[in-house]
Amino acid sequence: MNIYREEIIDHYKNPRNFGEMTNPTIRVFEVNTLCGDNIEFFLKIVNKIIIESKFRSLGCAISTATASMLTEKLIGLTIDKAKNISENEILTLLGGEISPGRKKCAFLPLTALRKALKTI
Amino acid sequence: MLNTNKIRLDFPILKRKINGFPLIYLDNGATTQKPKQVVEAIVDYYYNHNANVNRGAHTLGVEATEMYEKARQTVASFIKAASLREIIFVRNSTEAINLTAYSWGRSNISQDDEILITEMEHHSNLVPWQILAHEKQAKLTYLPFNKDGLLEIDKLDQYISSKTKILGLVHVSNMLGTINPVKEIILAARKINPKIVTLVDASQSVQHLPLSVLDLDCDFLAFTGHKMLGPMGIGVLYGKEDILNIMPPFLSGGDMIREVYKDRSVWNELPEKFEAGTPNVAGAVGLEAAIYYLNKIGLENIRIHERELTEYTLDKLRKISQVTIYGSMNTEIRSGIVTFNINGVHPHDVSEVLDKRGIAVRVGHHCTMPLHQKLNIPASVRASFYIYNTKEEIDKLIEGIRETIKIFKI
């Protein structure tokens, strides 16, 4: 099962940076009501650099694993670099192409991140 | 069991491969596949008989009209309606219920009136009433169901009063699979309020068990062609003649009028009063062919076949500890719908694993968000059976579920 390789299952069952953040610089909530996935994104930004990134979510393996890997990627990035993260980079994180039906799951954390960064 | 080998030969799509595996179509609650006989009837109509209906004095126009009206007769006989005037062709169940809410609802619901539906309704038998209630400042209430997925009928007198103008009731729940005792509920409702009007959503029942509107004695009944081997785009609203007669039209324009003047119009008689514009004649012809097909098998036999499949599925599923099954385990009052969750695995991921093995199930909230809110789950996985499904296919479903549990190390 390509998409469900060990790494994805691991990030799903043991998501990194999972939990609430006290005093976040930004907090955003994004929902995909069609499938019941939702995600809450927290960012702590100092001198235009993301120094901490956390998330809470209720969702499928793909959206959870993506969010987990995304928060790892964000730490240390400038706001500008973070704003430029593309859909393709998300797919690379996940290890390649995913079926069209699951793209919304993969891009949910990215949508949340972009929404958060827009407020700056 | 039905002779599925023979039946499956009539459904070319069942020969398809999905991701290298034979298609195992377990999403009949969403839509059913179509037998050759239905597709050929539609093709025949367009190749040989197509014309607009009702005003054609030419041969083709007469033929098309006769075919359309013959389809109406077939539908009337199928649900044992007393008269052709009680069968209105619409686009689907959703439109049938919207017609009722718009036409009957707007003229009969006033401020502080009550509309009663149930907690297990499909959005199509919820949202139109919600909009009507908001508009008229009426109250929309919900008859609850218990932990076995059965309506709390003993509480009916707490939910019905002289203020309750209409009861909207699903016959078979598209999520729980519960077969509600509609006839008994309608009788009980009328005992409390003799004037109450009743609408039955038969979208998941009319094609799975024998049904008679005379027996149910409901005022309205809605069902849709594409969930019963028919094409998409055709559905039926049944309404008692007396009640339809006094309702204002829904959609207006051509065909639903007898006379039009600059300052007023005279409505047509039933059923045309509620069929504005060019109808879906091909759809009606397709629906008729579907009814013939189902009648040849026999609705009682379909019920028996599905019940065996459901019993088989529940029996295997209950042995998997990681699976939660929703609804009653009693197949006497459960239709061929099995909705479940694998604890710790999101429905979306379950569907992905199954799809990679050619198995089509539905995941999400199945247009029953309040029902899912009551069960406190965001979504679920639904397998729904029909005449061409087999025990071997269910074995594959179970294998797929076990595989999912392995992959996710649950």
- Residue B332 CB contacts under 8 Å (≥ 6 apart), including other chains: none
* Partner-chain contact A4 B349, CB within 8 Å: yes
Predicted local confidence at residue B152, as pLDDT: 97
Predicted local confidence at residue A97, as pLDDT: 78
Predicted local confidence at residue A5, as pLDDT: 83
Residues of A in contact with B406 (CB under 8 A): none
CA B242, B246, B249 angle in degrees (round to 5)? 120
Average pLDDT over residues A27-56: 91
Tokens of B63: 């033929």
Predicted local confidence at residue B329, as pLDDT: 97
User: Among A1, A3, A61, whose Cβ lies nearest the Cβ of B346?
Assistant: A61
* Partner-chain contact B409 A3, CB within 8 Å: no
Count Cβ neighbours within 10 Å for each residue of B34-67 and write b for 16 or more, e otherwise.
Answer: bbeebbebbeebeeebebebbeeeeeebebbbeb
* Partner-chain contact B356 A1, CB within 8 Å: yes
Q: CB distance from B363 to chain A under 8 Å? A: yes
| CB-based contact A107:A90 (threshold 8 Å) | yes
Residue B192 backbone dihedrals phi, psi, to 5 degrees = -80, -45
Average pLDDT over residues B141-147: 97
Q: Minimal Cα–Cα distance from A22 to chain B, Å?
A: 27
What residue of A is the nearest CA neighbor of B409?
A: A9
Confidence band, pLDDT 50/70/90 cuts, at residue B270: very high
* Partner-chain contact A1 B349, CB within 8 Å: no
Residues of B in contact with A61 (CB under 8 A): 345-346, 348-349, 408
Among B14, B304, B367, B369, the one annotated catalytic: B367
**Among A2, A12, A57, the residue to mutate for chain B (most B Cβ within 10 A):** A12
Confidence band, pLDDT 50/70/90 cuts, at residue B57: confident
- Whether omega before B271 lies within 30 degrees of 0, making that bond cis, reads yes
User: Among A9, A36, A62, whose Cβ lies nearest the Cβ of B407?
Assistant: A9
Q: Residue B393 and residue B390: Cα distance in Å, rounded? A: 5
Chain A, 43-102: which have a CB under 8 Å from a chain B CB?
58-62, 99, 101-102
Residues of B in contact with A102 (CB under 8 A): 348, 352
Q: CB distance from B356 to chain A under 8 Å? A: yes
Q: Is the pLDDT of residue A3 over 80?
A: no
Average pLDDT over residues B271-284: 97
Range with lowest mean pLDDT among A41-45, A92-96, B377-381: A92-96
Confidence band, pLDDT 50/70/90 cuts, at residue B143: very high
Predicted local confidence at residue A33, as pLDDT: 73
| CB-based contact B173:B180 (threshold 8 Å) | yes
Q: Is the pLDDT of residue A1 over 70?
A: no
What residue of A is the nearest CA neighbor of B381?
A: A35
B367 is catalytic: yes
* Partner-chain contact B347 A102, CB within 8 Å: no
Q: Residue A50 and residue B18: Cα distance in Å, rounded? A: 44
Give the ipTM.
Answer: 0.87
Q: Is the pLDDT of residue A34 over 80?
A: no
Average pLDDT over residues A9-29: 95
* Partner-chain contact B346 A34, CB within 8 Å: no
Q: Is the pLDDT of residue B290 over 70?
A: yes
| CB-based contact B72:B182 (threshold 8 Å) | no
Average pLDDT over residues A27-53: 90
What residue of B is the nearest CA neighbor of A5?
A: B407
* Nearest of B77, B74, B178, B165 to residue B121 by alpha carbon: B178
Q: CB distance from A9 to chain B under 8 Å? A: yes
Predicted local confidence at residue B116, as pLDDT: 98
Predicted local confidence at residue B70, as pLDDT: 98
* Partner-chain contact B347 A60, CB within 8 Å: yes
Average pLDDT over residues B44-48: 98
* Partner-chain contact B346 A37, CB within 8 Å: yes
pLDDT tens-digit series, residues B101-139: 999 999 999 999 999 999 999 999 999 999 999 999 999
DSSP string for residues in B234-246: -EEEEE-HHHHHT
What residue of B is the nearest CA neighbor of A14?
A: B408
Q: CB distance from B407 to chain A under 8 Å? A: yes
Q: Is the pLDDT of residue A78 over 70?
A: yes
* Partner-chain contact B365 A36, CB within 8 Å: yes
Q: Minimal Cα–Cα distance from A100 to chain B, Å?
A: 11
Query: What's chain B's average pLDDT?
Result: 97
Predicted local confidence at residue B356, as pLDDT: 94
Q: What percent of chain B clears pLDDT 90, i.e. is strictly above it?
A: 98
Q: Is the pLDDT of residue A2 over 80?
A: no
pLDDT tens-digit series, residues B206-242: 999 999 999 999 999 999 999 999 999 999 999 999 9
Q: Residue A119 and residue A43: Cα distance in Å, rounded? A: 12
Q: Is the pLDDT of residue A35 over 80?
A: no
